[in-house]
């Protein structure tokens, strides 16, 4: 069996080598010629998988190690009896880490406590529901807009997007890209809704770039400069709008879910799906391919303010300002499109909050609940 695997998918040999020969190809460079003798194709979101790529190839299985599937022509796969699998939820914890770290940084920058802000979550799927759970666990005022879930489950617990905009001063977008239909999300946050944002609102997009009208957001920022943009996803990636990039308080290259843990979960989910298609009982667990974290624990000996403690623990593992700066430097040296992809291709190892155990001495034990809510492990020494 011959498998073509995106070069940026980690542990490809460990995950897929048992099935046959593995060839690594950069995702944006994948062409039909690479698939002339391939039985399986494993990709990420940067590769469009459609008839143009697959026609007249022997590929019988396609897997994407991502939550989203808008880059896959699933109708074509089904019509040609090509097996398919994605990895929903694989990096949801990493994105929730990114959101919390980004919001904590912005609160520090503005000198206003994050915990006093009213949060609106747009899209409460694998990622949005985790963000909701963490922020509510911290005691924050959270409202949720998710029309597909409201249609299935009833309206209790959900509000409209316009009501969310009126009520909240932070909007976190976590919607998939749906181009057509009753619940289409392309430009969900359009010019009218961007104009309606209250002064002081933060807009964080870690879902899909096309769900937000980037031109309208830029015009609001350029004209009034009274809202804040925290953007990980963009229209026209990797050739993103440099003017909007320059106006964003946090501008990162679609890496919110780029934890090592999340990437490896995605690889293992596709491995399991492929094994199922092949009627193989080959098994592999995350612990077997995931190295120990460089920072596995820290000790807090004082009762710090909650947000200070959260920032300290978050930065022990991840600070999104690093990625913001890296994109600026790469774009200046290589141009935006090449710099954007270079950041992703050369991304440093990052671990999730849950890999950090925070030991709380007696004076710091009031921090146990918020640290657990934020996603960290907490250890209280016996007898304290």
Active site residue 254: yes
- 3-state DSSP percent of the chain in helix, strand and coil, to 5: 45, 15, 40
Q: Are 212 and 186 in contact (CB under 8 A)?
A: no
Of 134, 193, 208, 271, which is the active-site residue? 208
Q: Are 144 and 157 in contact (CB under 8 A)?
A: yes
DSSP of 62-82, one letter per residue? Answer: EEESSS--TTB-HHHHHHTT-
Pairwise CA distance, residues 202 & 60, whole Å: 45
Nearest to 28 by CA among 45, 11, 15: 45
Q: Are 90 and 127 in contact (CB under 8 A)?
A: no
C-alpha neighbours within 13 Å on the C-beta side of residue 186: 7
Active site residue 166: no
Active site residue 237: yes
> Which DSSP helix (H) or strand (E) runs through 258?
none
Nearest to 353 by CA among 320, 331, 304: 320
Of 130, 149, 254, 330, which is the active-site residue? 254
Of 193, 237, 271, 311, which is the active-site residue? 237
CA distances in angstroms from 65 to 25, 278, 297, 337, listed in the order given: 15, 18, 29, 22
Q: Are 82 and 39 in contact (CB under 8 A)?
A: no
Segments in 336-381 forming alpha helices (H): 336-345, 368-374
Classify residue 2 by burial, with Cβ atoms within 10 Å: 0-12, 13-18, 19+.
middle
Pairwise CA distance, residues 307 & 193, whole Å: 30
Mapped onto helix, strand or coil, the DSSP state of residue 84 is strand
Strand partners, 63: 42, 85
Q: Are 324 and 250 in contact (CB under 8 A)?
A: yes
Tell whether omega for the bond before 89 is within 30 degrees of 0, i.e. cis.
Answer: no
Catalytically active residues are 208, 237, 254
């Amino acid at each position: 069996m011959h498998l073509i695997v995106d070069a940026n998918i980690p542990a490809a040999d460990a995950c897929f080598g048992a099935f046959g020969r593995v060839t690594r190809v950069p995702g944006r460079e994948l062409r039909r010629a690479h698939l002339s003798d391939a039985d399986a194709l494993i990709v990420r979101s940067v590769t469009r998988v459609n008839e143009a790529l697959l026609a007249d190839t022997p590929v019988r299985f396609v897997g994407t190690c991502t939550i989203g599937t808008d880059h896959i022509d699933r109708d074509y796969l089904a019509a040609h009896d090509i097996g398919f699998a994605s990895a929903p939820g694989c990096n949801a914890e990493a994105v929730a880490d990114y959101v919390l770290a980004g919001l904590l940084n912005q609160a520090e920058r503005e000198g206003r406590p994050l915990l006093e802000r009213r949060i609106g979550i747009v899209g409460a799927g694998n990622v949005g529901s985790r963000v909701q759970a963490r922020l509510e666990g911290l005691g924050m005022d959270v409202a949720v807009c998710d029309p597909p879930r409201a249609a299935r489950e009833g309206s209790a617990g959900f509000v409209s997007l316009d009501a969310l905009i009126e009520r909240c001063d932070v909007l976190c977008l976590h919607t998939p890209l749906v181009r057509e239909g009753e619940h289409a999300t392309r430009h969900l946050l359009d010019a009218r809704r961007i104009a309606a944002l209250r002064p002081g609102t933060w807009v964080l997009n870690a879902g899909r770039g096309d769900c937000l009208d980037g031109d309208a957001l830029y015009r609001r920022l350029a004209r009034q400069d009274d809202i804040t943009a925290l953007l990980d996803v963009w229209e026209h990636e990797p050739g993103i709008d440099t003017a909007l990039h320059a106006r964003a308080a946090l501008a990162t290259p679609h890496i919110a879910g780029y934890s090592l843990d999340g990437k490896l979960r995605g690889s293992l989910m596709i491995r399991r799906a492929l094994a199922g298609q092949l009627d193989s009982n080959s098994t592999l667990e995350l612990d077997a391919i995931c190295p120990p974290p460089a920072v596995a624990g820290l000790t807090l000996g004082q009762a710090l303010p909650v947000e200070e403690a959260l920032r300290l623990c978050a930065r022990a593992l991840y600070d999104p300002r690093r990625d913001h700066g890296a994109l600026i430097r790469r774009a200046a040296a290589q141009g935006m499109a090449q710099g954007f992809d270079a950041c992703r291709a050369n991304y440093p190892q990052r671990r999730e909050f849950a890999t950090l155990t925070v030991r709380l001495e007696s004076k710091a034990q009031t921090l146990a609940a918020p640290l657990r809510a934020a996603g960290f492990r907490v250890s209280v020494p016996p007898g304290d």
